[in-house]
Amino acid sequence: MDLLFQRHQFNIRQLHKTERISDIKDLFNEVVLFLNNTTHNQTDGLHVLSVICYELTGIHTLKFLNHPEIMNHQFFKILSNTFSMLLTKVTFILLTKHDEQCFDGISLLVSNLCLNNNKISSNFYIDNNEKFDPNNKEKFNLISYEKIFFTKLFIKKFVRILEDDIAVNDYELYHIKYKVIDRLLRVFMKLSDIDHTLILDPVITCVQSKIYIEIYKTIDLRLPLLSPKQILFIYQCPKFIRLCSYKQQEEISQKLSRSMIQFSSDIFQKQLPIISRGDAKIQAVAWYVELLNHFALTPKTRVFFIESKFKYSLTID
């Protein structure tokens, strides 16, 4: 198996030097053959997938994967099924070391594929004219990595882990769940075909959770780096709300603004003295202010900020 890994690593590192689809298919064919012959040993299979994903992610450009024959390859179907399986597994039980490595590796590769090689290239002018013909519906239903990995079932599982696990259970700062969920939220924000409304409610639940407020009460802004848990709750979730809630902005603003204003006084009283000394990461508090400002721009919730002047004067100041 070690020899197989070494050969895979060498072959992958040569991929950026070639445009030949046959070379890429040969590599993926060999990987699939190995995986099919090791169904009795899941650990070896996960390890192989981890190696492949990390090596592919390390290549600066993934344009050679932007081809229908490659995107339809069995390798990506196996990768998609494994990713979905690990998302289910991490929701309910502890992952093994190999599980975590594979979960992290696949999420890295999927993020790169979806953001850099989302769809097959096509002729804009000709295709957009032909799209008006209803008979061409299937012709323009192009395959994409987004469609391969982010199926309705996967999104349903993602919503469940956010709502029933991340927003409820408190894990250590660098838990694999926070790293992968943060990565996927960042990708979802940039994909137009994802139904953001399905994800919005569980994200709001995370911001309403005790964990979100507790992070601001306990965070040490003098540390050089924030943890994946802190980044997910105080940066990625609020950003998702700001960028993806335009259809429900008024409703969400009314739902969250009162509690956000109420907690802001405690947060500012605790953190502003530290920031004023010039040795803290002011950005963490700025993210809270950005979300407050987002709510304040909604006419019907602006009155809450005016009312808060008498209760929480520090917020207005």
Reported as a single tens digit per residue, the pLDDT across 205-254 is 999 999 999 998 888 888 888 999 999 999 999 999 999 988 788 888 88
Predicted local distance difference test score (pLDDT) of residue 16: 58
Give the predicted TM-score (pTM) of the model.
0.83
Same domain assignment for residues 193 and 67: no
> Does one domain contain both 286 and 188?
yes
Q: How confident is the model at residue 156 (pLDDT cuts 50, 70, 90)?
A: very high
Please indicate, yes or no, whether residues 159 and 228 belong to a single structural domain of this protein. Answer: yes
Q: Greater confidence, 152 or 19?
A: 152
Decide if pLDDT at 172 tops 80. yes
Non-local CB neighbours of 6 within 8 Å, separated by 6+ positions: none
At 103-124, the pLDDT tens digits run: 999 999 999 999 875 444 444 4
> What is the structure's pLDDT at 101?
95
Q: Are residues 295 and 199 in the same domain?
A: yes
Q: Number of folded domains in the chain?
A: 2
The H or E element that residue 89 is part of is helix 74-92
DSSP code of 232? I
Position 176 pLDDT exceeds 60: yes
Verify that 248 and 216 share a domain, yes or no. Answer: yes
pLDDT of residue 271: 80
What band does 151 get if pLDDT is binned at 50, 70 and 90?
Answer: very high
Tell me, yes or no, whether 103 and 166 share the same domain. no
Among residues 147, 151, 74, 80, the alpha carbon closest in space to that of 109 is found at: 80
State the DSSP string of 188-218.
HHH-TTS-HHHHHHHHHHHHHSHHHHHHHHH
Grade residue 204 by pLDDT with cuts at 50, 70 and 90.
Answer: very high
* Residues 131 and 232 grouped into a single domain: no
Shared domain check, 170 and 114: no
pLDDT averaged over the chain?
82
| Residues 61 and 171 reside in one and the same domain | no
Farthest CA pair distance, the chain: 71
Q: Do residue 291 and residue 231 come from a single domain?
A: yes
* pLDDT tens digits, one per residue of 40-93: 577 888 888 898 888 888 776 667 788 888 899 999 999 999 999 999 999 999
- Boundaries of domain holding 277: 151-317
Residues 135 and 188 in one domain: no
